[in-house]
Amino acid sequence: MLEVKPASVREYSIALIRRSYWYYMGQITVGAILTCAGAALLIKGFQPMQLGFALLIIGIVSWIIIPLAHRSVSWRITSDRLMEQRGILATSRREVELQDIRSIEVTRRLRQRFAGLGDDIR
């Protein structure tokens, strides 16, 4: 089991997996609501104007953060390992040899089942 791998056998990448944007649907919805509310307050001329600008900026910032959060977590499956990488500037990496994995448990919420996401392993 702990044999040395010959130099001629190279590890190769099989898949790169990231979270779906469905995972961020709550943040997307809140960002859209804040952006629309801020724009509506500014258009109607609501006083004080700072409230409309604040809501608009918070909504736009939340839209900017979502793609960064999407890129911050990834899983890579290679011929020998499963690697998890978290972070953008400061990263942490966790590796598991495929031969060390004994079982996989998959759970799905009702919403995921209706959308046809994930797999049932029986």
Report which secondary-structure segment, H or E, holds 57.
Answer: helix 49-72
pLDDT digits (tens, 9 = 90+) for 29-53: 999 999 999 999 999 887 888 999 9
pLDDT at 1: 47
Q: Give the residue, 20 or 1, on which the prediction is more confident.
A: 20
Q: Running DSSP on this structure, what letter comes out for residue 76?
A: E
Of 81, 61, 57, nearest to 69 (Cα)?
A: 61
List, for residues 88-119, the tens digit of each pLDDT value: 888 899 998 888 877 777 777 787 778 777 65
Per this entry, what is the length of the chain? 122
How far is the C-alpha of 69 from the C-alpha of 63, rounded, in Å?
A: 10
- Angle, helices 25-44 vs 49-72, to 10°: value is 160
Report residue 26 as tokens.
């709550």
